[in-house]
Protein backbone atom coordinates (compact mmCIF):
# COMPACT_ATOMS: atom_id res chain seq x y z
CA UNK A 1 0.00 0.00 0.00
CA UNK A 2 1.32 3.42 -0.99
CA UNK A 3 0.40 6.46 1.09
CA UNK A 4 0.16 9.61 -1.03
CA UNK A 5 0.67 13.16 0.18
CA UNK A 6 -3.00 13.85 -0.52
CA UNK A 7 -4.08 10.93 1.68
CA UNK A 8 -1.78 12.05 4.49
CA UNK A 9 -3.14 15.59 4.29
CA UNK A 10 -6.69 14.23 4.59
CA UNK A 11 -5.76 12.09 7.57
CA UNK A 12 -3.95 14.85 9.43
CA UNK A 13 -6.82 17.24 8.76
CA UNK A 14 -9.22 14.62 10.10
CA UNK A 15 -7.51 13.63 13.37
CA UNK A 16 -6.48 16.85 15.19
CA UNK A 17 -9.36 16.66 17.69
CA UNK A 18 -7.93 13.41 19.10
CA UNK A 19 -4.30 13.88 18.04
CA UNK A 20 -2.69 14.67 21.40
CA UNK A 21 -4.70 12.10 23.38
CA UNK A 22 -4.07 9.34 20.86
CA UNK A 23 -0.35 10.07 20.68
CA UNK A 24 -0.05 10.04 24.47
CA UNK A 25 -1.85 6.72 24.75
CA UNK A 26 -0.01 5.07 21.87
CA UNK A 27 3.41 6.14 23.23
CA UNK A 28 2.44 5.04 26.76
CA UNK A 29 2.58 8.72 27.80
CA UNK A 30 6.23 9.13 26.81
CA UNK A 31 5.69 11.63 23.98
CA UNK A 32 5.93 14.73 26.20
CA UNK A 33 9.04 13.37 27.92
CA UNK A 34 10.76 12.70 24.60
CA UNK A 35 9.85 16.12 23.18
CA UNK A 36 11.23 17.77 26.32
CA UNK A 37 14.43 15.77 25.98
CA UNK A 38 14.83 16.92 22.38
CA UNK A 39 14.45 20.61 23.27
CA UNK A 40 16.75 20.16 26.27
CA UNK A 41 19.48 18.86 23.94
CA UNK A 42 18.90 21.65 21.41
CA UNK A 43 19.23 24.13 24.27
CA UNK A 44 22.82 22.96 24.88
CA UNK A 45 23.82 24.13 21.41
CA UNK A 46 21.48 27.11 21.08
CA UNK A 47 21.26 28.75 24.49
CA UNK A 48 19.34 31.95 23.73
CA UNK A 49 17.50 31.57 20.42
CA UNK A 50 15.60 34.58 19.16
CA UNK A 51 13.47 32.63 16.69
CA UNK A 52 12.71 28.91 16.29
CA UNK A 53 10.88 27.10 13.50
CA UNK A 54 8.67 24.11 14.39
CA UNK A 55 8.36 22.07 11.18
CA UNK A 56 5.14 20.05 10.74
CA UNK A 57 4.08 21.41 14.12
CA UNK A 58 0.68 19.78 14.34
CA UNK A 59 -1.33 21.37 17.17
CA UNK A 60 1.80 22.75 18.79
CA UNK A 61 2.88 20.05 21.23
CA UNK A 62 6.58 20.76 20.62
CA UNK A 63 6.06 24.51 20.36
CA UNK A 64 4.41 24.49 23.78
CA UNK A 65 7.55 22.97 25.32
CA UNK A 66 9.72 25.47 23.44
CA UNK A 67 7.63 28.31 24.85
CA UNK A 68 8.05 26.99 28.39
CA UNK A 69 11.84 26.69 28.05
CA UNK A 70 12.34 29.82 25.92
CA UNK A 71 9.54 32.24 26.94
CA UNK A 72 11.13 35.17 25.09
CA UNK A 73 11.72 33.26 21.86
CA UNK A 74 9.57 33.87 18.79
CA UNK A 75 8.05 30.62 17.52
CA UNK A 76 6.98 29.98 13.93
CA UNK A 77 4.86 26.90 13.28
CA UNK A 78 4.39 25.26 9.89
CA UNK A 79 2.15 22.38 8.91
CA UNK A 80 0.49 21.27 5.68
CA UNK A 81 -2.74 20.31 7.48
CA UNK A 82 -4.81 23.48 7.92
CA UNK A 83 -6.93 22.00 10.73
CA UNK A 84 -3.84 21.28 12.80
CA UNK A 85 -2.83 24.94 12.70
CA UNK A 86 -6.37 26.15 13.34
CA UNK A 87 -6.62 24.05 16.49
CA UNK A 88 -3.16 24.94 17.75
CA UNK A 89 -3.06 25.79 21.46
CA UNK A 90 0.17 27.80 21.18
CA UNK A 91 0.44 31.48 20.35
CA UNK A 92 2.76 32.26 17.47
CA UNK A 93 3.04 32.72 13.74
CA UNK A 94 1.47 29.89 11.75
CA UNK A 95 2.30 29.11 8.13
CA UNK A 96 0.59 26.53 5.93
CA UNK A 97 3.46 24.81 4.11
CA UNK A 98 5.01 21.51 3.14
CA UNK A 99 8.24 20.49 4.82
CA UNK A 100 9.69 19.86 1.35
CA UNK A 101 9.40 23.57 0.49
CA UNK A 102 9.74 25.79 3.54
CA UNK A 103 8.82 29.36 2.47
CA UNK A 104 11.69 31.07 4.30
CA UNK A 105 15.08 32.57 3.48
CA UNK A 106 18.35 30.77 4.15
CA UNK A 107 19.82 31.03 7.68
CA UNK A 108 16.81 32.80 9.16
CA UNK A 109 16.10 30.63 12.25
CA UNK A 110 18.38 30.05 15.21
CA UNK A 111 17.04 26.50 15.48
CA UNK A 112 14.75 24.33 13.35
CA UNK A 113 12.98 21.44 15.04
CA UNK A 114 10.32 18.85 14.33
CA UNK A 115 8.50 16.16 16.29
CA UNK A 116 6.80 12.98 15.07
CA UNK A 117 6.54 14.11 11.46
CA UNK A 118 9.72 13.30 9.52
CA UNK A 119 8.74 9.63 9.16
CA UNK A 120 5.86 10.72 6.89
CA UNK A 121 8.32 12.00 4.27
CA UNK A 122 8.96 9.91 1.17
CA UNK A 123 12.35 11.61 0.93
CA UNK A 124 13.75 12.17 4.44
CA UNK A 125 16.99 13.66 3.14
CA UNK A 126 15.16 16.32 1.12
CA UNK A 127 13.33 17.48 4.25
CA UNK A 128 16.53 17.54 6.31
CA UNK A 129 18.23 19.64 3.62
CA UNK A 130 15.35 22.13 3.79
CA UNK A 131 15.59 22.29 7.57
CA UNK A 132 19.35 22.83 7.35
CA UNK A 133 18.89 25.50 4.69
CA UNK A 134 16.66 27.74 6.81
CA UNK A 135 18.60 27.16 10.06
CA UNK A 136 21.63 29.15 11.08
CA UNK A 137 22.60 26.86 13.95
CA UNK A 138 20.81 23.77 15.34
CA UNK A 139 18.52 21.19 13.76
CA UNK A 140 16.59 18.80 16.00
CA UNK A 141 14.18 15.98 15.21
CA UNK A 142 12.21 13.35 17.09
CA UNK A 143 10.35 10.87 14.91
CA UNK A 144 9.39 7.27 14.39
CA UNK A 145 12.40 5.09 13.68
CA UNK A 146 13.05 1.52 12.59
CA UNK A 147 15.46 -0.73 14.44
CA UNK A 148 18.23 -2.49 12.55
CA UNK A 149 17.23 -5.64 14.45
CA UNK A 150 14.90 -7.72 12.24
CA UNK A 151 13.15 -9.40 15.16
CA UNK A 152 12.32 -6.06 16.77
CA UNK A 153 11.08 -4.74 13.44
CA UNK A 154 8.60 -7.62 13.12
CA UNK A 155 7.39 -7.08 16.67
CA UNK A 156 6.86 -3.34 16.10
CA UNK A 157 5.16 -3.92 12.74
CA UNK A 158 2.65 -6.23 14.44
CA UNK A 159 2.02 -3.64 17.16
CA UNK A 160 1.50 -0.80 14.68
CA UNK A 161 -0.75 -2.83 12.41
CA UNK A 162 -2.99 -4.58 14.90
CA UNK A 163 -2.71 -2.93 18.34
CA UNK A 164 -2.06 0.80 17.85
CA UNK A 165 -5.27 1.49 15.83
CA UNK A 166 -7.29 -0.15 18.63
CA UNK A 167 -5.61 2.06 21.26
CA UNK A 168 -6.31 5.17 19.17
CA UNK A 169 -9.95 4.11 18.96
CA UNK A 170 -10.16 4.09 22.75
CA UNK A 171 -9.81 7.88 22.80
CA UNK A 172 -12.28 8.45 19.96
CA UNK A 173 -9.92 8.55 16.98
CA UNK A 174 -10.65 6.60 13.80
CA UNK A 175 -8.68 3.33 13.88
CA UNK A 176 -8.60 3.35 10.06
CA UNK A 177 -6.60 6.61 10.07
CA UNK A 178 -3.99 5.21 12.44
CA UNK A 179 -3.52 2.09 10.31
CA UNK A 180 -1.60 4.34 7.92
CA UNK A 181 1.19 4.60 10.47
CA UNK A 182 1.95 0.92 9.88
CA UNK A 183 2.40 1.54 6.16
CA UNK A 184 4.57 4.57 6.89
CA UNK A 185 6.70 2.40 9.18
CA UNK A 186 7.23 -0.14 6.41
CA UNK A 187 8.77 2.44 4.08
CA UNK A 188 10.98 4.48 6.43
CA UNK A 189 14.74 3.83 6.43
CA UNK A 190 16.39 1.89 9.24
CA UNK A 191 17.97 3.90 12.05
CA UNK A 192 21.48 3.28 10.75
CA UNK A 193 20.42 4.64 7.35
CA UNK A 194 18.79 7.66 9.00
CA UNK A 195 21.95 8.33 10.98
CA UNK A 196 24.00 8.35 7.77
CA UNK A 197 21.57 10.86 6.24
CA UNK A 198 22.00 13.17 9.23
CA UNK A 199 25.79 12.79 9.12
CA UNK A 200 25.84 13.72 5.43
CA UNK A 201 23.92 16.93 5.99
CA UNK A 202 24.89 18.17 9.47
CA UNK A 203 27.56 18.05 12.12
CA UNK A 204 25.87 15.27 14.05
CA UNK A 205 25.85 15.80 17.80
CA UNK A 206 23.22 13.38 19.12
CA UNK A 207 21.45 10.32 17.78
CA UNK A 208 19.51 8.37 20.41
CA UNK A 209 17.13 5.45 19.98
CA UNK A 210 14.08 5.04 22.22
CA UNK A 211 11.48 2.32 22.75
CA UNK A 212 13.24 -0.56 20.99
CA UNK A 213 14.38 1.76 18.21
CA UNK A 214 10.85 2.83 17.27
CA UNK A 215 11.67 6.44 18.11
CA UNK A 216 14.88 8.39 17.61
CA UNK A 217 16.13 11.78 18.72
CA UNK A 218 18.54 13.60 16.42
CA UNK A 219 20.33 16.90 16.94
CA UNK A 220 22.87 18.31 14.52
CA UNK A 221 24.53 21.62 13.79
CA UNK A 222 24.73 23.45 10.51
CA UNK A 223 28.16 23.12 8.96
CA UNK A 224 30.10 26.37 8.78
CA UNK A 225 30.97 25.80 5.12
CA UNK A 226 27.28 25.39 4.25
CA UNK A 227 26.34 28.58 6.09
CA UNK A 228 29.13 30.49 4.35
CA UNK A 229 28.03 29.17 0.95
CA UNK A 230 24.48 30.34 1.55
CA UNK A 231 25.63 33.76 2.72
CA UNK A 232 27.73 34.19 -0.44
CA UNK A 233 24.74 33.14 -2.55
CA UNK A 234 22.57 35.71 -0.78
CA UNK A 235 25.10 38.52 -1.32
CA UNK A 236 25.42 37.63 -5.00
CA UNK A 237 21.64 37.72 -5.34
CA UNK A 238 21.48 41.20 -3.79
CA UNK A 239 24.26 42.42 -6.10
CA UNK A 240 22.44 41.22 -9.23
CA UNK A 241 19.22 42.81 -8.03
Q: What is the DSSP string of the chain?
A: ----HHHHHHHHHHSTTTHHHHHHHHTTT-HHHHHHHHHHHHHHH-SS-SEEEEET-TTTHHHHHHHHH-TTSEEEEEES-HHHHHT--S-SEEEE--TTS--S-TT-EEEEEEES-GGG-S-HHHHHHHHHHHEEEEEEEEEE---S-HHHHHHHHHIIIIIHHHHHHHTT--HHHHTHHHHHHHHSPPHHHHHHHHHHHSEEEEEEEETTTTEEEEEEE--HHHHHHHHHHHHHHHHH-
Residue 218: the pLDDT is 98
Which has the closest alpha carbon to 189: 221, 218, 219? 218
* pLDDT tens by residue, 191-208: 999 999 999 999 999 999
Q: Which residues pair with 92 in a beta bridge?
A: none
DSSP letters of 115-156? ES-GGG-S-HHHHHHHHHHHEEEEEEEEEE---S-HHHHHHH
Q: Parallel, antiparallel, or unpaired for β 203-210 and 109-115?
A: unpaired
Do residues 95 and 2 touch, judged by C-beta distance below 8 A?
Answer: no
Q: Parallel, antiparallel, or unpaired for β 203-210 and 135-144?
A: unpaired
> Which domains, and CATH codes, for the chain?
20-147+189-233 (3.40.50.150)
d(CA 228, CA 90): 34
d(CA 131, CA 111): 9
Q: Which residue positions in the chain have pLDDT lower than 70?
A: 1-28, 231-232, 234, 236-241
Residue 5: the pLDDT is 55
Q: Which residues pair with 219 in a beta bridge?
A: 140, 206
* pLDDT tens by residue, 96-138: 999 999 999 999 999 999 999 999 899 999 999 999 999 999 9
Neighbours of 150 (CB within 10 A): 9
Amino acid sequence: MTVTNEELRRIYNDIPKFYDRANALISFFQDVKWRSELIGIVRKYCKEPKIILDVASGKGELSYIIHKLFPKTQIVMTDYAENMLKLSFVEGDKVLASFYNLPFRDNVFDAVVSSFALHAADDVEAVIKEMVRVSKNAIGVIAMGKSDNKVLRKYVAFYLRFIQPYLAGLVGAKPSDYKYIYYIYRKIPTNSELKRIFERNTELRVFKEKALGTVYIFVGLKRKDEKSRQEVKLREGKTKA
